[in-house]
Structure 1
Amino acid sequence: MTSADDTTPENERPEDESAQPADAAEQAASAGDAPEGDPLEALDFEPSEEASEDAAVLAAKAEAAEHLDALQRERASFTNYRNRAVRDNAAARTQGVQDVLAGLLPVLDDIERARQHGELTGPFVAISDKLDGALAKFEIERFGAVGDEFDPNLHEALMHSTDPEATSSTVNIVIEPGYRIGERVVRAARVSVVGPE
C-alpha cells in the first residue's frame, strides 16, 4: 500500500541533505564562530611601489658605479699609455740625434782643429757657424776648455803633468772637445791635465 509521502515526485523533495552541512558552516561563520574576513589580508606580502622604486634606484646606482669604475680604469690605462708613448718618443728622438752626432764627430773634430790652428777662414767660418747653430737647435753642446777643473765624468785625461804651483787638477790642453745632449754625455772631452805634485 502506498502512502501519500511515497507519491511525492523526486523533484519536489526537499533539497539534498548533503547541502545542509555547508549551510551550517555558513551559519556558524555568520554567528561569529570564525573571524570576519581573511586574517591574511592585513599582512602585506606584495612590495609597495615605493620599495620597488628604491630597488630600481639602487640597481641603477650600482650599475652606474660599475661603469664609472670601468671608465676610470680605462682613463688611467690611456693616461699611462700616453705618458709612456711620450717618453718613448723623446728617447727615440734623443737616440736619433745621438746617432747623427756620433756620425758627425770626425767632421766636427776636423773643423775644431782648423779653428784652433787659424785655418778656418773665408766662407768656411760661416759654414762652421751655421753647423754650430744647427747643433744648438737639437740641444747639442760642445764642452771642454783650457782652465776647466778636471771632472772624470766629463773629461778623459789622455796626458797628465804636474806643476808645483797647481792646487788642483785642471785642463791645460783640449785635444778633442766633448759633446753632450742635454745632460747626457755623448763623448767626454779628451784633454791633457796638469795637477799638483
Structure 2
Amino acid sequence: MAEEHPEPTVVRDRRRIDPETGQVRTEPDAQPDQPGQDAPAGPDAGVTTGAPAAGGSAELAEAQALASDRLEQLQRLNAEYANYRKRVDRDRDVAKDAAVAGIAEALLPVLDDVHLARQHGDLTGPFAAIADKLEATLGRFGLARYGENGEPFDPMVHEALMHSHSDEYEVATCVQVLQPGYRIGEKVLRPARVAVADPQ
C-alpha cells in the first residue's frame, strides 16, 4: 500500500502594502485559486446598496395606500348600495299602500251599497256570495270597516254629523252610525259618520 503524501501548504500574501518596501501593491486580476472557488471579494462585495431597498419600500407604501383607497371606496359604495336598497324597499311599500288605498277608495260607494243591502236583508242569493268575496279580497289587503253604536267618540276616526245631549253617557258617545268608516292599517280612508250624544 503506497504511502499517501499530504498536499503541501500554500501561503499567499494578500496584504496590499508590501512589508519590505512599504509600497502599495497593485492588485492582480482576481482569479479563483481553485476551480469551484469564488474570486476574492472586493471592498464593496456583499454590500447591498440602499437604492433597491428604498425603491422597494416606496413601491410597498404606494401599493398599501392604493389598497387602502380602494377599500375605502368599496366600503362607501357598499353603504350607498345598502341605503339605496332600503330606500327602494320603502318606496315600493309606499307605492303599494297608495295603490291599494286608491282602489279601496274608488270602491267605497260599492261597499256602502253592499252594507246597506245587508242591513235591510236585500243581499241574498248569488249577490251575497259576490259581496262576501269582494269584502274578503279587500280584507286581505288590510281594508277594514269600523264604527259601532255605543263606542266613545274619537274625532280622529269619527265625523260627527249630529249632536244631542243625554244623561245616560259620561263621555261623548256614538249613538248611531250613519255611515261606516274604512281604514287600511292605521290610515283612515274615510271617517265613520256618526250621531253623537254629549253628556249634560
In which range does the TM-score fall when normalised by the shorter chain? Answer: 0.7 to 0.9
Residue 169 of structure 1 pairs with residue 152 of structure 2: no
1:49-107 deviation digits (Å, cap 9, x = unpaired):
44443333222211111011111111111111111111111111111111111111111
Inter-partner Cα distance in structure 1 for 2:165 and 2:133: 39
Which of 133, 138, 146 is the equivalent residue of 2:149? 146
Q: How does 1:18-29 map to 2 (within 5 A)?
A: none
Inter-partner Cα distance in structure 2 for 1:65 and 1:101: 54
Structure 1 equivalent of residue 158 of structure 2: 155
Structure 1 stretches of at least 4 aligned residues deviating more than 6 Å after TM superposition: none
Query: How many residue pairs are counted as aligned between the two chains?
Result: 162
- Please report the RMSD computed on the Cα atoms of aligned residues, expressed in angstroms: 2.7
Inter-partner Cα distance in structure 2 for 1:165 and 1:99: 40
Inter-partner Cα distance in structure 2 for 1:81 and 1:140: 30
Inter-partner Cα distance in structure 2 for 1:165 and 1:102: 36
AA in 2 matched with 1:162: H
Partner SS for 1:166: coil
Worse-matched range after superposition: 183-192 or 111-120: 111-120
Which of 171, 183, 186 is the equivalent residue of 1:183? 186
Q: How far did residue 48 of structure 1 move?
A: 5.3
Inter-partner Cα distance in structure 2 for 1:46 and 1:177: 93
Inter-partner Cα distance in structure 1 for 2:54 and 2:146: 78
Q: How far did residue 175 of structure 1 move?
A: 1.2
Inter-partner Cα distance in structure 1 for 2:94 and 2:141: 13
Structure 2 equivalent of residue 120 of structure 1: 123
Q: How far did residue 118 of structure 1 move?
A: 2.0
Consecutive unaligned residues in structure 2, runs of 5 or more? 1-22, 25-43
Structure 1 equivalent of residue 61 of structure 2: 58
Partner SS for 1:113: helix
Structure 2 equivalent of residue 89 of structure 1: 92
TM-score, normalised to structure 1, is 0.73
AA in 1 matched with 2:93: A
AA in 1 matched with 2:151: D
- Rg (Cα) greater in structure: 1
Inter-partner Cα distance in structure 2 for 1:54 and 1:145: 82
Partner SS for 2:50: coil
Partner SS for 1:162: strand
